[in-house]
Chains A and B, each alone.
Chain A
Amino acid sequence: MKIDSSPPVVRFSDVNFAYEDGNTVLENINFSLDSGDFACVVGPNGGGKTTLLKLILGLLKPLSGSISVLGRSPGHSQAQIGYVPQFSKFDAGFPVNVLDVVLMGCLQRSFSWGRYSAEQIDKARAALEAVGLKGKEDRGFAGLSGGQKQRALIARALVSEPRLLLLDEPTASVDVHGTEQFYCMFEELNQKFTILMVSHDVGFVSGRVKSVLCVRKTLQIHPVSELTGEALQDIYGVDVNIIRHDHRCSDKGHICPHS
């Protein structure tokens, strides 16, 4: 399926980024994301995860270095990226129905007049079906649960038929059980789209994603299987305790099965 000569979906070469106050957020970032990948960006808060997404989207410009997205500069490839922003920023009571939210994904740089076309509406319905919201088209967005809202926003990103899907903490408002369902959905979407997502829950992601980008000012790529305690410590810069599921506690104290 993948042609070797095809350029990577995203390529960062020696990228540096700092905000106006001079605070360096990203330093010397090099990585490339191949077509069909399912990569997860992890790292501490303020480590630069969202900044990385905004650089890919062209919403922010790097201080130095070069970024290419789908073979072009970030600003020019926006139309082929499906972006799912952090969910917590939304006005939860906004009066709009689910189908209309998804149709917002059809908007383009070139101005189009009047109503959405029947073809666009069909695509929006298909996108809702792909995220498991079939039959909820006419429901008010405000009345959906957190997880359903998130799914509607993913459908909005899918409707423009992007080549790259960028998700910013898509499971932040979903409970543990729902998170598992979300990753099943991402695995399915990954058959069609290259996915790059930002996430907090490292341990849970590792089972499903193909590669992990660890961002804490600098960036390191960890193959999923190598995500060990040392790697986590690398990311967070402090001692991180990992819960051992083979270790039980009782009122007599800690009992390790092997001791």
Chain B
Amino acid sequence: MSAFIKDLLELQFLQNAVIAGILCSIASGVVGTYVVLKRITYIAAAISHCILGGLGVARYFSVVYDLPWLRPVYGAVFTAIASALLIGYISLRAKEREDTVISALWSIGMAVGVLFIFKTPGYNEDLMSYLFGNILMVSREDLYLIGVLDLVVIGLTVTFYHQTVAVCFDEEFARTRGVAVEFYYLLLLCLTALTVVLTVSVVGIIMVIALLSLPVAIASRFFDSVWKIMLAATVLGMLFTLSGIALSYTPNLPSGALTIVIAGAAYFLTLAWSSLRRSKIQNNAPDASS
């Protein structure tokens, strides 16, 4: 731990990692709250797996045709938004078989990504860092991108807070009030897509969904309004990612995986604590009445 703090003051890649963890936690705390309340974790997971396709294709063209400006993350943003809009369109227009289409997109995106990464000359270690995340690889440019996307997420959430909460709570009623429900639903999916792209750099495609949902699941046991849960989930997300980075540093463990294990442990501890408290209240109740 002391080695981590000493290196943190000197090594830029470690500072980048810490800043990335903090910035990502903001977006994932805010958007994760929507994802959990609107019950679209499955859609968020599908978007995150689709991203591999965009990453793979962008990296392939970048390497093979020598296009240094074409960074994989651009491919990721494009794929994420495209798949979010496609899934949104399908779930708004054709209510049935929504899950089948989502599953298909999920695996097709991954398959395309694996094919392109396989055919890209050079080392293929990137595949592993996309799947499981490698926060120590985050560059200064990545940080700017993450910062901008954070501002977009916060700006849109503040602007449309009441509308988006109303749509999450009761879509049909919001529609009868003239609220553009379909617009807000697609907006939420796009915010989810952008957040997923950011979070992939921290914990990787496969574990994104845990970082989106676990802090919210814990926070919603303690707070009863949407914005409080957003704030609490953000703080918890920071706590989990930073402790993940710090604790994985000296033993040289993959930080993404450790972050998720810490978040998961915290979640189950919360569950155990609240069920213990509930049984305590139930046990005490007869005594109080007698």
Contact = CB atoms under 8 A, between A and B. Distances in A.
Interface in B134-166: 159, 162-163, 165-166
Interface stretch (A98-106, A238-246, A250-258): A98-106
Contacts of B220: 93, 95
A101 B39 CA distance: 19
Contacts of A97: 224-225
B126 interface: no
Contact of B178 (A93, A95, A104, A109): A109
Interface residues of B, number: 26
B177 A140 contact: no
B176 A104 contact: no
Query: Main secondary structure on chain B at its contact with chain A?
Result: helix
B226 A105 contact: no
Interface of A: 57, 59, 78-79, 81, 83, 85, 89-91, 93-97, 100-101, 103-105, 107-109, 111, 113, 116, 140, 142-143, 156, 160
Contacts of A94: 37, 168-169
23 contacts: A59-B175, A59-B176, A78-B176, A79-B178, A85-B170, A90-B169, A91-B169, A94-B169, A95-B37, A95-B224, A95-B228, A95-B229, A96-B165, A96-B224, A96-B226, A103-B162, A104-B173, A105-B177, A107-B162, A107-B166, A107-B174, A107-B179, A111-B163
Contacts of A143: 224
B224 A109 contact: no
Contact of A59 (B172, B179, B223, B229): B172
Contacts, number: 75
- Residue from A90, A93, A95, A103 having most chain B Cβ neighbours under 10 A: A95
Contacts of A81: 176
Contacts of B176: 57, 59, 78, 81, 83
Nearest to A139: B224
Contacts of B223: 95
Contacts of A89: 172
A196 to B, nearest CB: 14
Nearest to B228: A95
A87 to B, nearest CB: 10
Contacts of A142: 224
